[in-house]
Amino acid sequence: MNSETNNNGVKKYYLVTVEKTPPPADMPEGDWFRYVVSYGDSEINCVRGGTLKEVTRHAEDFVENLNVRSTMGYSGYAARSTKAKTT
């Protein structure tokens, strides 16, 4: 996922990098990775524990979810409510 736009020239999220990093403070030792997701001039920096394969798969799924949500008109930065609306 290295393209900044889709086939229609619309900007989209893409995975920039996944790299090994030390564990965050107060977290257990083990394998930790930092991944960066880009959207235009904005970047989302995340840290997750696991193997390189697991974290890469998670990051790719995260990017796909953001792109689907933005295509559907949802903000990629805002959580969607799962509660049913009552009138």
- pLDDT, tens only, 28-56: 899 999 999 999 899 999 999 999 999 99
Flag whether 83 is in a domain: no
Range of the domain at 49: 14-71
Flag whether 1 is in a domain: no
8-22 pLDDT, tens digit per residue, is 556 799 999 999 999
Flag whether 53 is in a domain: yes
Please state, in angstroms and rounded to a whole number, the distance separating the CA atoms of residues 48 and 24: 9
Quote the number of domains for the chain: 1
Distances (CA, A) of 22 to 18, 27, 43, 48, 54: 13, 10, 20, 10, 17
Flag whether 35 is in a domain: yes
